[in-house]
């Protein structure tokens, strides 16, 4: 059962416990549907056998199950209705999934309630008149009895399948790691909206999320050019600085890491293609860096940290933000409440959450996540020991590369051949570059169709931080995955073949690592 003890989740153990409790909902549905099926069969048997005592006992059992279903519904509704900006990411994702499939639980409770009423009526009639003559015709006709049994069983099985299919804890299918919580939406959900709703925005954490209060939270600013350390409050940020809104896409550097992981092991959370989503400016010092430090504590480092070139932070058109709102609402806890850095056009790792300090310095951040992570290692590096000799030699990843992906049909897998397959997906590029063209192929890249682009931000600004949604109608071949490739405004195009790297970052090839499907295809 779900209980309120796990409402405030501040540790990995509590988060795992919360997921265990949430999964109990699915077990609850399975057990109750099985019990309902057997109850129906036993009720029919009691009527045929004129067993009044058995029928009354089954009515009592059904009444107990119905009462418990309403109690469970109340408990789960109460738990998931208490979401606010301080809730954990895990609980928020469970809450969204629960509300999307809430009707299944309501349907089950209603079915149980109706069955209780029907069984009670039958028991009452059987008790008053010994029941058998009411069902005499049915009982005497063997074929009719078999048909009634079959119909009742099929109805119960249908109800069970519907409930189990729809109550699948939706987003939990795409949870990459429970503690610290990391998750992404399904690709069809991802492209439903140009502006990504909160519940479909990927979640990335490196450690347990801190519980912070914006009324008490402060940010320390120091470093080159600062006479002394300055501490600012959230109230000052909101009142003393201009509020700016920027439409942008955030992409994890490990987006589509799962494609590289199919070749050989990569170190990192195995992200699919859904690790992205679409949120008062910081003001020549081209060789300096701005280091950001978070309250978030991590296994690799005392706290999460990263940095960007000062030139990026001061760029009039760079739109680097201290963000305290997301889609017009206060940041939720899993988005970095109460304040985070947002660096448009850069990988998500540079947009530090739970911000506690800003330092202007001559070197990049010394943080593990800047110096020993989010770098593209040579292809011959296969272990952590081999990587140690390269970390200090390689540059940190800043802007993300040009990227596209087929979302509908999911992962480009289809049941063709078809002459007119409807295809949808996304495309994006870093550094403020917009998408110039997306090509889609259903025959392993032999021929390409130009997609229709939906990119409201393109052409409106000097730089474009948003993504591009696209649609296309193509002819598909049997056993051949649908693929896409994007070209950005600088002429960058997705490569055909992926380049494996130990950290599994920046994978943007249009071909995937499933050669058998390609080689055995009927063209």
What number is the average pLDDT over the span 89-116? Answer: 68
403-519 has which fold? Immunoglobulin-like (2.60.40)
Q: How many residues are given for the chain?
A: 523
Average pLDDT over residues 465-471: 92
Q: What is the pLDDT of residue 146?
A: 62
What per-residue confidence (pLDDT) applies to 307?
A: 96
Tell me, what's the pLDDT at 147? Answer: 60
Output the pLDDT for position 345: 92
Task: Return the closest-CA partner of residue 357 out of 297, 306, 415.
Answer: 306
Average pLDDT value over all residues in the chain: 76
Average pLDDT over residues 498-503: 88
Helix (H, G, I), strand (E, B) or coil at 241: coil
DSSP string, 55-69: HHHHHHHHHHHHHHH
pLDDT of residue 7: 36
d(CA 258, CA 523): 27
Q: Under CATH, domain 191-385 is a member of which superfamily?
A: Oxidoreductase, molybdopterin-binding domain (3.90.420.10)
Assign 260 a pLDDT band (cuts: 50, 70, 90): very low
Residue 242's contacts (CB-CB under 8 Å, 6 or more residues apart) are 280, 281
Given a contact cutoff of 8 angstroms between Cβ atoms, the answer to whether 138 and 147 are in contact is no
Question: Residue 463 to residues 248, 289, 344: CA-CA distances in angstroms?
Answer: 10, 22, 10
Give CA–CA dist 251/43, Å, rounded.
56
Query: Which pLDDT band holds residue 277 (cuts at 50, 70, 90)?
Result: very low
Per DSSP, helices labelled H in 290-383 are 310-314, 368-371
Per-residue model confidence as pLDDT tens digits over 246-258: 887 877 765 655 5
pTM of the model: 0.65
Tens of pLDDT, residue by residue over 406-417, are 998 988 888 778
How far is Cα 45 from Cα 56, in angstroms, rounded to an integer? 13
Q: Which of 50-64, 163-177, 502-516 has the lowest mean pLDDT?
A: 163-177
Count CB neighbours of 384 within 10 A. 10
241 pLDDT tier (thresholds 50, 70, 90): confident
Beta carbons of 465 and 457 less than 8 angstroms apart: yes
Q: Which residue has the higher pLDDT, 269 or 329?
A: 329
In percent, the amount of the chain with pLDDT more than 70 equals: 69
The domain spans of the chain are 4-176, 191-385, 403-519
Tally of CB atoms within 10 A around 519: 9
Residue 269 has pLDDT above 80, yes or no: no
Peptide bond into 417 cis (omega under 30): yes
């Amino acid at each position: 059962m779900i209980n309120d003890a796990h409402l405030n989740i501040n540790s990995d153990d509590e988060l795992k416990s919360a997921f265990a409790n949430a999964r109990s909902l699915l077990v609850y549905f399975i057990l109750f549907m099985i019990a309902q099926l057997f109850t129906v069969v036993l009720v029919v048997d009691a009527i045929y056998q004129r067993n009044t005592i058995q029928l009354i006992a089954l009515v009592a059992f059904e009444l107990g199950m119905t009462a418990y279903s309403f109690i469970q519904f109340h408990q789960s509704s109460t738990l998931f209705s208490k979401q606010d900006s301080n809730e954990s990411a895990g609980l928020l994702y469970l809450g969204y999934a629960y509300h999307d499939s809430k009707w299944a639980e309501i349907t089950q409770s209603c079915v149980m309630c109706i069955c209780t009423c029907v069984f009670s009526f039958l028991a009452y009639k059987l008790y008053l008149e010994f029941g058998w003559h009411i069902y005499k015709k049915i009982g005497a006709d063997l074929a009719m009895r078999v048909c009634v049994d079959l119909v009742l069983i099929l109805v119960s099985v249908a109800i069970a399948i519907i409930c189990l299919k729809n109550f699948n804890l939706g987003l939990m299918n795409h949870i990459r790691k429970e503690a610290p919580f990391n998750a992404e939406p399904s690709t069809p959900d991802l492209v439903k909206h140009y502006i990504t709703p909160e519940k479909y925005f990927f979640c990335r954490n490196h450690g347990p999320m801190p519980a912070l209060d914006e009324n008490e939270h402060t940010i320390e600013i120091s470093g080159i050019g600062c006479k002394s350390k300055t501490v600012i409050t959230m109230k000052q940020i909101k009142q003393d600085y201009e509020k700016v809104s920027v439409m942008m896409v955030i992409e994890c550097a490990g987006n589509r890491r799962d494609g590289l992981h199919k070749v050989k092991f990569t170190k990192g959370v195995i992200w699919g293609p859904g690790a992205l989503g679409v949120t008062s400016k910081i003001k020549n010092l081209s060789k300096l860096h701005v280091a950001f430090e978070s309250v978030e504590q991590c296994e690799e480092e005392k706290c999460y940290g990263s940095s960007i070139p000062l030139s990026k932070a001061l760029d009039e058109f760079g739109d680097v933000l201290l963000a305290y709102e997301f889609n017009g609402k206060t940041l939720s806890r899993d988005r970095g409440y109460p304040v985070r850095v947002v660096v448009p056009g850069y990988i998500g790792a540079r947009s530090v959450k739970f911000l506690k300090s800003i330092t202007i310095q001559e070197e990049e951040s010394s943080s593990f996540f800047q110096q020993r992570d989010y770098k593209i290692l040579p292809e011959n590096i296969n272990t952590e020991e081999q990587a140690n000799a390269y970390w200090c030699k390689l540059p940190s990843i800043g802007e993300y590369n040009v990227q596209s992906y087929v979302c509908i049909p999911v992962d480009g897998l289809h049941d063709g051949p078809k002459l007119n397959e409807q295809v949808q997906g996304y495309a994006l590029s870093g550094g403020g570059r917009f998408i110039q063209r997306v090509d889609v192929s259903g025959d392993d890249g032999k021929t390409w169709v130009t997609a229709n682009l939906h990119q409201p931000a393109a052409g409106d600004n000097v730089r474009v931080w948003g993504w591009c949604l696209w649609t296309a109608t193509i002819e598909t071949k049997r056993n051949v995955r649908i693929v896409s490739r994007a070209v950005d405004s600088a002429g960058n195009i997705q490569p055909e073949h992926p380049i494996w790297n130990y950290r599994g970052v920046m994978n943007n090839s249009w071909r995937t690592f499933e050669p058998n499907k390609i080689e055995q295809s009927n063209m």
